[in-house]
Amino acid sequence: MNIMEIFDTMEYGPAPEAANPGLAWIKEHQPFGLFINNKWVKPAGKQYIESINPSTGKPLARVAAASSADVDRAVAAARAAFEMWGKTPGHVRARYMYAIARHIQKHSRLLAVLESLDNGKPIRETRDIDIPLVARHFYYNAGWAQLMEQEMVGFEPVGVVGQIIPWNFPLLMLAWKIAPALAMGNTIVLKPARYTSLTALKFAEIMQEVGLPPGVVNILTGEASQVGEALVRHPDVNKIAFTGSTDVGRSIRRATAGSGKKISLELGGKSPFIVFDDADLDSVVEGVVDAIWFNQGQVCCAGSRLLMQENIADRLIAKLRERMEHLRIGDPLDKAVDIGAIVSPGQLKEIQRLVNQGVEEGAQMWQPSWACPTEGYFFPPTLFTNVSPATTIAQVEIFGPVLVAMTFRTPDEAVALANNTRYGLAASVWSENINLALDIAPKIKAGSVWVNCTNLFDASSGFGGYRESGFGREGGKEGLYEYAQPAWKTKAAQEFLIAIESTSANGAKSAHEDGSDEQSLAGEDNYQYGDDGTNGYHPVLPAIDRTPKMFIGGKQVRPDSGYSRDVYDARGRVIGQVGEGNRKDIRNAVEAAHAAGGWAIGTTHNRAQILYYIAENLSAREDEFARRVALQTGCTRADAANEVQVAISRLFSYAAWTDKYEGVVHRPPLRGAVLALPEAIGVIGIACPDEYPLLGFISLVAPAIAMGNTVVVIPSPQSPLSATDCYQVLETSDLPAGVVNIVTGDRDTLSQVLADHDDVDSMWYFGPLEGCQRVELASAGNMKRTWVSYGHPRAWLETVQGEGQEFLRESTQVKNIWIPYGE
């Protein structure tokens, strides 16, 4: 083509990036080994797998296929390294991380080329987005390593962390996981996706260059069934961090249930892209390109559902088609290419299958007139209109360049459509009316909301899902808590294990056998049976029988079963009955809790006032509550009075926190701000501990409702009367009906129903290990969050264990609202 012709057509010429440096590096290193203890080692099983270049379909490299024996080796190396790395001063860790960031920048071009060769994504994206963000994550988290001692007082690393990452952003996902883990002092065994291991291997080389101590980061390439599963089940791994499909996330939840492993799951999505009629449509079109054709749509937070206000739909679709006609697909190393290759033939087939299904279900498909390259795995940008919200393509994550468009008329309808998904990862809202956009953003159930922008990421701003998009956050300060835990927890867990071992060695004794409670009850300070304010004053008249009912939707209701269960004092004498709750009571309670959802959108000032009011009403009946605690537990009068006092103080604490746990504003490198808002999770099921019947109940319910959740509570099964006594306190404290619902009965039976329930968003369980395991297993159904005690006792009276930000974090999920500004 001569210059005149170029001027006439304005066609792009090819602008290829040289593949040679990447290919030379591969040639020099292959077959690649496993990276354990800072050394390249051969896989125990001597097996290798091929990495394919998706844009040609040809083999690119041979990488080692690790087996479970290699996982054992790598975990042992990480454990040994943890002894030292976990105690290394923050400043030293910061220096290593800073060096890693520097080296990533020094090798940025090679990393970008390798990523494009291995994954098929355009060099424009790897060079300008993936790799700079990788460096940014190490710089940002180097800062947290430096500040950990001051900013996270009392926290320590979790230990050995297993990290499993997907193929869509291979090096970026590695950075999201390794950087915060290193900053907090953990050691790591990471498994890249089998299709895309190369940049992780180059990263391993960088670890050697910067002289990171051996065993701190270990990288095992290979198959999920060999490496991934062995890592998940390994007894010496303290935490699993996973990004990938919801199905695998669910299987990891099940496999780790009851093991005490911390987990964070970043899963799939079907994110809405909402366009109101006053939006700047030309910007919207570019937004859509970034939302669904960025990385060939293989993005967990891709804006794959276009929701358009009806009156602009035709205009927007016409503009989109025009733009799609000009998108360029082809060699990922060509700098002028918009869309690269799909990662594998399997993924390509799955996209085609879902597209066919969309057509069969009656939606109208449109693709540009140009053809895809015939070599390699390419799929054209695809637009579906006439889509019904219930169809497969509107509900299932396609993970390809496929956009489904629907219309709405009112803002309420837009929100309803946006939330009509089991996922909740991200959303974009487009409107020139900032009031409207900021009104819509909090109503969408998603971890990130982008206002007039899309697919923006930064290390300072947390990322993660609501609902079946997983739990846990990556990025921001909140992401650090995935890799750190309060020091007392590690100590308490160790002491608990020692205590269990010595009990089983000496033969377990019941309280009655060793006479301990006998002695305590006989003490001078104790309340005697019958001294509960109802007996003794009228020796002739029998006391009026008081059988606490359930507390559901603000009303005291009888148990559906019509059965009651006896409640005993510490000496084993019956002191009352409570209702025997069943599945139906829980169902009604969950319904009531949902109906009270408005609690979350009331003002924080109002919620604080109500918590103070509950404290005030509890204080008015302090003596009666103390007697009840003493009667149930056999503790001394002074201890019972102290428990009530601490419960009142705790209510004050959460009343105080209600309008102070407000989130932060991030300033990522863009002209704009990101509001990181802690939001209520929704309906939380709470199974209370046996010990401290009043304080355990208040310590869990108060933070949950302070943050705007509504709760269904199962009180201490041994001593439920302190919770049921609270009905009247709650009823007289202006607490709206349904915010707190209390169902008495068998803790495990009722917890199982709550954990199975699809309309419960989080489940807390403070009880025996087996119960914790059951709750974690059942929660995998709708991927609800869980918070369980693994059978470890907690010092509820102590502020450091019994209250504070740990409780507030469990009560909230952070939504990041991105608001760019400027004309």
Comparing CB distances to ligand NDP, the nearer of 103 and 467 is 467
Give least dist CB 486 to ligand NDP, A: 28
**What are the CA-CA distances from residue 185 to residues 90, 145, 350, 671, 809 (Å)?**
8, 8, 40, 33, 21
Give least dist CB 226 to ligand NDP, A: 8
- Euclidean distance between CA atoms 744 and 766, whole angstroms: 15
Give least dist CB 67 to ligand NDP, A: 13
Give least dist CB 176 to ligand NDP, A: 10
Place of tokens 């910067």: 210
Q: At what angle do helices 131-151 and 170-183 cross, to 10 degrees?
A: 10
**What are the CA-CA distances from residue 693 to residues 525, 634, 759, 767, 798 (Å)?**
19, 12, 27, 13, 15
Comparing CB distances to ligand NDP, the nearer of 233 and 621 is 233
Say if residues 569 and 631 touch (Cβ distance below 8 Å).
Answer: yes
Comparing CB distances to ligand NDP, the nearer of 193 and 615 is 193
Compute how many other C-beta atoms are within 10 angstroms of the C-beta atom of residue 513: 9
- Euclidean distance between CA atoms 190 and 240, whole angstroms: 10
Nearest to 818 by CA among 477, 450, 527: 450
**753: helix, strand or coil:** helix
- In the residue annotation, 266 being an active-site residue is answered as yes
- In the residue annotation, 453 being an active-site residue is answered as no
- Euclidean distance between CA atoms 340 and 622, whole angstroms: 69
Could you tell me where the beta strands, DSSP code E, fall in 197-277?
217-219, 239-243, 262-266, 271-275
- Euclidean distance between CA atoms 97 and 92, whole angstroms: 9
Comparing CB distances to ligand NDP, the nearer of 243 and 577 is 243
Say if residues 777 and 640 touch (Cβ distance below 8 Å).
Answer: no
Using CB under 6 A, list all residues that contact ligand NDP: 164-168, 191, 193-194, 223-224, 228-229, 232, 243-245, 248, 251, 267-268, 300, 347, 350, 397, 399
Catalytic one of 17, 115, 156, 300: 300
Catalytic one of 115, 229, 266, 803: 266
Comparing CB distances to ligand NDP, the nearer of 65 and 592 is 65
Q: Give the containing element (helix H, strand E) for 11.
A: none
Cross-strand bridge partners of residue 788: 765
Comparing CB distances to ligand NDP, the nearer of 267 and 648 is 267
Nearest to 564 by CA among 577, 551, 575: 577
- Euclidean distance between CA atoms 724 and 694, whole angstroms: 10
Nearest to 601 by CA among 509, 701, 709: 709
Give least dist CB 227 to ligand NDP, A: 7
Comparing CB distances to ligand NDP, the nearer of 194 and 757 is 194
Say if residues 80 and 213 touch (Cβ distance below 8 Å).
Answer: no
**765: helix, strand or coil:** strand
Comparing CB distances to ligand NDP, the nearer of 223 and 361 is 223
Give least dist CB 813 to ligand NDP, A: 17
Compute how many other C-beta atoms are within 10 angstroms of the C-beta atom of residue 356: 11
Give least dist CB 472 to ligand NDP, A: 13
Say if residues 588 and 759 touch (Cβ distance below 8 Å).
Answer: no
Comparing CB distances to ligand NDP, the nearer of 216 and 300 is 300
Chain position whose Cβ is nearest to ligand NDP: 228
Give least dist CB 749 to ligand NDP, A: 31
Give least dist CB 2 to ligand NDP, A: 45
Residues designated as active site: 266, 300
